């Protein structure tokens, strides 16, 4: 076998990796790559043989205390040759000393447990065509430059580390974003992006179920077709609102941590992405 080279991915290669995720059926967004890379430009790692990428992983560092593993894929025709393990080992070494999170599918649960990850909570993907607005109207608007600092501050209530560079891109077009306010203070925000199939909402943060549901209604009303959202299973009242509005549960994942576990913040109603946390 030719010598394997492991290195950081360029933006075009991050796009290629996201294309692999689409082939695996993960339904990523059409414009994910630039925002993903902005979260940590050194955090996307690939294995190359004869100049071709054969495996890759996202090992994104959010500051000095938190990291996230995602987009862990070996090319289908090059599996079983150790390329996946090679990028895994480099990614985990890069995040050493941090609490590390991931969202694992059931088929990989025991594998991740053996690697030192412990389950924290379940996440359920809901999808479908929203059948109407199930809650009263709330004060919702677009995320203006003036509101952006408040939105980023609100995000720190639900995410364990700062991620300003990522949010600056994630909250901007072509993504659709809304912010809920009360008496001038931010009480929630939501983002929706076009995906290979339909539209995906995430993240979705709010102070209460009704505000979260109002944001879903607002975002879904601006597009045609199916919408999807990854919801913590503990959000039972919010899930009832979604099912009453016509969304149905699909596959589930488990949030797992290696290191100090991070409690589910009460403001989290929709995971930003299963790839980056």
Assigned domain for 277 exists: no
Total length of the chain = 277
Let me know: does 116 contact 83? Beta carbons within 8 Å.
no
Do 263 and 160 belong to one domain? yes
Do 221 and 141 belong to one domain? yes
Do 139 and 248 belong to one domain? yes
The total number of structural domains in the chain stands at 2
Please spell the DSSP secondary structure of 159-225, one letter per residue.
SSS--HHHHHHHTSTTSEEEEEEETTEEEEEEEEEEBSSSEEEEEEEESSHHHHHHHHHHHHTTS-S
d(C-alpha 107, C-alpha 100), whole Å: 20
Query: What is the DSSP code (8-state) at residue 127?
Result: E
> What value does the mean pLDDT take over residues 226-253?
96
Percent of the chain with pLDDT over 70: 97
Give the model's confidence band at 219: pLDDT under 50 very low, under 70 low, under 90 confident, else very high. very high
Strand duo 199-206 + 66-74: pairing: unpaired
d(C-alpha 189, C-alpha 202), whole Å: 10
Query: What is the DSSP code (8-state) at residue 60?
Result: E
Assigned domain for 276 exists: no
Do 189 and 244 belong to one domain? yes
Give the model's confidence band at 2: pLDDT under 50 very low, under 70 low, under 90 confident, else very high. confident
pLDDT at 136 exceeding the cut of 60? no
> What value does the mean pLDDT take over residues 117-142?
82
> Is 32 in a helix, a strand, or coil?
helix
Q: Which of 119, 154, 187 is a domain's end point?
A: 119
pLDDT at 34 exceeding the cut of 60? yes
pLDDT at 135 exceeding the cut of 90? no
Assigned domain for 69 exists: yes
Do 79 and 100 belong to one domain? yes
Residue 1: per-residue pLDDT: 56
Assigned domain for 224 exists: yes
Residue 144: per-residue pLDDT: 86
> By C-alpha distance, which of 24, 2, 35 is closest to 15?
35
pLDDT tens sequence across 41-97: 999 999 999 999 999 999 999 999 999 999 999 988 878 788 989 999 999 999 999
> By C-alpha distance, which of 4, 243, 256 is closest to 125?
243
Do 245 and 161 belong to one domain? yes
d(C-alpha 160, C-alpha 101), whole Å: 11
Residue 78: per-residue pLDDT: 78
Could you report how far apart the first and last alpha carbons of the chain are, in Å? 35
Q: Which of 67, 92, 119 is a domain's end point?
A: 119
Query: What is the DSSP code (8-state) at residue 145?
Result: T
pLDDT at 259 exceeding the cut of 90? yes
Do 55 and 132 belong to one domain? no
pLDDT at 137 exceeding the cut of 60? no
Q: What is the CATH number of the domain that holds 159?
A: 3.40.630.30
d(C-alpha 177, C-alpha 222), whole Å: 11
pLDDT at 258 exceeding the cut of 70? yes
φ and ψ of 208, to 5 deg: -155, 165
> By C-alpha distance, which of 160, 162, 207 is closest to 182?
207
Do 81 and 196 belong to one domain? no
Do 185 and 254 belong to one domain? yes
Which domain, by its residues, includes 70?
Answer: 4-119
> Is 8 in a helix, a strand, or coil?
strand
Assigned domain for 62 exists: yes
> By C-alpha distance, which of 159, 160, 65, 116 is closest to 258?
116
Give the model's confidence band at 29: pLDDT under 50 very low, under 70 low, under 90 confident, else very high. very high
Residue 132: per-residue pLDDT: 62
Supply 200's token pair: 């995906």
Do 80 and 158 belong to one domain? no
Do 154 and 107 belong to one domain? no
pTM: 0.93
> What value does the mean pLDDT take over residues 194-206?
96
> What value does the mean pLDDT take over residues 141-153?
91
d(C-alpha 140, C-alpha 154), whole Å: 15
Assigned domain for 275 exists: no
pLDDT at 129 exceeding the cut of 90? yes
Residue 140: per-residue pLDDT: 83
Let me know: does 239 contact 124? Beta carbons within 8 Å.
yes
Query: What is the DSSP code (8-state) at residue 108?
Result: G
Do 155 and 91 belong to one domain? no
């Amino acid at each position: 076998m030719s010598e394997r080279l492991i290195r950081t991915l360029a933006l075009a290669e991050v796009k290629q990796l996201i294309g692999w995720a689409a082939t695996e059926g993960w339904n990523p967004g059409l414009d994910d790559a630039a925002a993903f890379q902005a979260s940590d430009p050194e955090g996307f790692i690939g294995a190359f043989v004869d100049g071709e990428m054969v495996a890759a992983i996202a090992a994104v560092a959010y500051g000095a205390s938190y990291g996230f593993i995602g987009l862990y894929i070996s090319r289908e025709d090059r599996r079983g040759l150790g390329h996946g393990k090679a990028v895994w080992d480099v990614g985990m070494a890069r995040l050493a000393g941090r609490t590390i999170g991931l969202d694992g599918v059931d088929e990989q649960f025991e594998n991740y447990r053996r690697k030192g990850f412990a389950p924290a909570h379940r996440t359920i993907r809901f999808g479908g065509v929203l059948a109407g607005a199930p809650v009263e109207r709330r004060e919702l608007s677009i995320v203006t430059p003036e509101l952006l600092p408040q939105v980023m501050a609100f995000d720190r209530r639900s995410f364990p580390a700062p991620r300003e560079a990522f949010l600056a891109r994630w909250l901007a077009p072509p993504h659709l974003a809304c912010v809920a306010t009360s008496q001038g203070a931010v009480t929630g925000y939501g983002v929706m992006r076009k995906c290979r199939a339909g539209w995906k909402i995430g993240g979705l943060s709010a102070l209460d179920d009704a505000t979260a549901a109002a944001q879903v209604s607002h975002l879904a009303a601006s597009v045609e077709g199916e919408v999807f959202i990854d919801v913590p299973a503990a959000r039972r009242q919010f899930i009832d609102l979604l099912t009453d509005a016509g969304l149905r549960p699909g596959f589930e994942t488990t949030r797992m941590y290696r290191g100090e576990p991070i409690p589910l913040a009460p403001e989290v109603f929709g995971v930003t992405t299963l790839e980056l946390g």
